[in-house]
């Protein structure tokens, strides 16, 4: 790869793209809403939220100095991230809290990029994050899911026109913003029905000696505030 090619790639990454039409922004919002609310569709699309959820656990584990052992994604859309380190303390708390907060916060960050016109940066950044996550996947289904998702981002960013890239980017961000809230509702429902004590909220309650309901409230707050803030960026640009 010569200097001219590198310069061109850098210009594409750091440059801005034209804002899409209002109808495209609205249409992608409705599609994302359908992908979250329609039960049969959600069973498939929830895999993307699980990737973000477990990726959040893994990222905070690394940032807080824990040793990330691996990530597993399962066909029932559940996941598991294993890290080693102190069983208590701020690092463990932040790692446990990162799962349910990661999807909406990623959506909020994506909305900020789109509001600034950085569609290409969003697509390439997501591809890079998925590639890094792939290294830590420890089961075949998880690897397949991440490879397919990453390939989709890569193909859209390299082989499609600007309008298609914009539609895909807005759909992804809307989905993270809306889809980041539904797992919190599901968590509350599951805890009320099963009371297994194994959820992230229950783990955080034991780590911090606080009620699990307090952590549920935090998850709700992050999801709702991210949705409101992200929607304002996307709709009022």
Mean pLDDT of the chain: 92
- Asked if pLDDT for residue 6 goes beyond 80, the answer is no
Tokens standing for 222?
């992050």
Structure confidence at residue 20 (pLDDT)? 87
Neighbours of 228 (CB within 10 A): 11
What is the per-residue pLDDT for 84?
A: 93
Instruction: Write a three-state SS string for the chain.
Output: CCHHHHHHHHHHHHCCCCCCCHHHHHHHHHHHHHHHHCHHHHHHHHHHHHHHHHHHHHHHHHHCCCEEEEEEECCCCCEEEEEECCCCCHHHHHHHHHHHHHHHHHHHHHHHHHHCCCHHHHHHHHHHHHHHHHHHECCHHHHHHHHHHHHHHHHHHHHCCHHHHHHHHHHHHHHHHHHCCHHHHHHHHHHHHHCCCCCHHHHHHHHHCCCHHHHHHHHHHHHHHHHHHHHHHHHCC
pLDDT of residue 11: 54
User: pLDDT, tens digit, for every residue of 134-182?
Assistant: 999 999 999 999 999 999 999 999 899 999 999 999 999 999 999 999 9
Percent of the chain with pLDDT over 70: 93
pTM score = 0.93
- For residues 35 and 189, the model is more confident at 35
pLDDT band at 1 (very low <50, low <70, confident <90, very high): low
């Amino acid at each position: 790869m010569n200097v001219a090619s590198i310069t061109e790639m850098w210009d594409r990454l750091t440059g801005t793209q034209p804002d899409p039409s209002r109808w495209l922004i609205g249409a992608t919002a409705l599609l994302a809403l359908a992908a979250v609310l329609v039960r049969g569709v959600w069973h498939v699309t929830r895999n993307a939220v699980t990737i973000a959820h477990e990726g959040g656990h893994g990222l905070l584990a690394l940032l807080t100095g824990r040793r990330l052992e691996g990530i597993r994604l399962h066909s029932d859309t559940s996941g598991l991230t294993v890290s080693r380190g102190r069983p208590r303390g701020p690092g463990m708390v932040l790692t446990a809290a990162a799962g349910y907060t990661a999807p909406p916060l990623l959506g909020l960050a994506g909305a900020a990029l789109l509001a600034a016109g950085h569609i290409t940066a969003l697509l390439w950044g997501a591809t890079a994050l998925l590639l890094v996550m792939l290294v830590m996947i420890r089961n075949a289904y998880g690897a397949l899911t991440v490879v397919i998702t990453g390939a989709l981002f890569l193909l859209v960013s390299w082989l499609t026109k600007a309008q298609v890239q914009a539609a895909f980017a807005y759909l992804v961000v809307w989905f993270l913003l809306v889809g980041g809230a539904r797992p919190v509702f599901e968590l509350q429902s599951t805890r009320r029905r099963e009371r297994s004590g194994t959820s992230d909220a229950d783990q955080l309650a034991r780590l911090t000696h606080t009620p699990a309901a307090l952590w549920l409230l935090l998850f709700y707050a992050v999801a709702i505030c991210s949705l409101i803030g992200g929607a304002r960026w996307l709709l009022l640009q």
